[in-house]
Amino acid sequence: MGDMIKGNEAIAEAAVRAGARLYAGYPITPSTEIMEYLSWRMPEIGGTFVQAESELAGINMVVGGAACGVRSFTASSGPGMSLKQEGITQLYDEELAAVVINVVRYGNGIGTLHTAQCDYLRETRGGGNGDYRTIVLCPESIQEAVDLTGLAFDLAEKYRTVATLMTEGALGQMMEPCELPEFKEVKRQPWGFDGKYSYKKVGIFDRDSMKEAVLLNEKHDLIKANEQRWEDGDIEDADYVFVAYGLPGRSTKGAVEQLKAQGHKVGFIRPIIAWPFPENAFAKVNPNVKGFITVEANATGQLVDDVALTVKKSMKSDIPVYCLPYVYGIPAMKAIQEDFVKIAAGEIKEVY
């Protein structure tokens, strides 16, 4: 068992050990500890740390670092992430590898400081302009956040795209035992600027044949085929299957164990990568399942859309899909159990 460490600091150290050598960003609660930690840690290992004058400046500095083939990243929350969207879509368009960390907080506008999952649709759909997706990784613990940070950099370079670590305010602020990885020696990407040659973009826009659009879809299909990741339990004979990610996914797993002890036939699917959505997980589900239930930390229900689309696509039957949105915070296992009883009794109606 490793030492106790704060979530944001663990993520920052994991990025350093994964070979990241440029961080540029602007402080915002509840992600600021990532930046504070890197303000002294990056110079210590020969990297570059920049506190930019704004979120827009920070993400565009990451564009520059990524164009040079250097492992580069930024972090933010809520409205800060909204401001970074143009830079993120530019990274994607130029096929530059970069990592963006979103320590999600709740609310519209300038939002609040409450931990939440209200950014799901933006992160999984591509929040900026254009046709694109970023790979979205969703940890349930500090250890998993550390593991997924290294994976995020690897996947970003593998596909020359943007990888988003979509964590939550509570995970960034809490402390848990964690084993940090060994340092990884990473070389600058051969396609980056080196003072002699400009970097080579993979996609070539052609107004007649639309080659870039073809390549874009081929890349997305390849990512979908290779990078679906999830955890599941007891779904082969379940009457109801819960679907949840992140910290609510952690609570849901506990609620499922308690419901099973009470005699209920329930199981769970926990997406570890939210895009591409783990459609393959649903192939194992009991074909006679009575319903799917999402557990979410937002007000409107967002994950429920992907579950309903996947059920329609993979199971091809009219199976009810329910949503338990707990607005913000981490839903308690007791609340999940009580609401499940209401669903089973017909007191909560399906969304789809």
- For the chain, the first-to-last Cα distance in angstroms comes to 43
User: Is 293 part of a structural domain of the chain?
Assistant: yes
The continuous run of DSSP H or E covering 190 comes out as none
CATH number, domain containing residue 168: 3.40.50.970
* pLDDT single digits (tens) 30-60: 999 999 999 999 999 999 999 999 999 999 9
Of 226, 260, 275, the residue that ends a domain is 226
- Comparing CA positions, the residue from 283, 286, 297, 349 lying closest to residue 320 is 349
**Lookup: tokens for 54:** 């704004």
Residue 259 is predicted with a pLDDT of 98
Of 189, 209, 226, the residue that ends a domain is 226
- Whole-structure pTM value: 0.95
Residue 201 is predicted with a pLDDT of 64
Residue 213 is predicted with a pLDDT of 82
User: Is 350 part of a structural domain of the chain?
Assistant: no
User: Is 352 part of a structural domain of the chain?
Assistant: no
Cβ partners under 8 Å of residue 66, min gap 6: 72, 91, 96, 97, 98, 192
**Lookup: tokens for 280:** 């393959």
User: Is 284 part of a structural domain of the chain?
Assistant: yes
Judge if 172 and 271 occupy the same domain.
Answer: no
Judge if 19 and 115 occupy the same domain.
Answer: yes
Range of the domain at 247: 231-344
Would you call 191 helix, strand, or coil by DSSP? coil
Q: What number of residues does the chain have?
A: 352
Judge if 56 and 95 occupy the same domain.
Answer: yes
How many independent structural domains does the chain possess?
A: 2
| Residue segments in the chain with a per-residue pLDDT below the cut of 50 | none
Judge if 150 and 299 occupy the same domain.
Answer: no
Peptide bond preceding 276 in cis form (omega within 30 of 0): yes
**Lookup: tokens for 73:** 């990243």
b/e per residue 240-278 (b: at least 16 CB within 10 A): bbbbbbbbbbbbbbebbeebeeeebebbbbbbbbbbbbb
Judge if 140 and 249 occupy the same domain.
Answer: no
CATH number, domain containing residue 269: 3.40.50.920
Judge if 239 and 221 occupy the same domain.
Answer: no
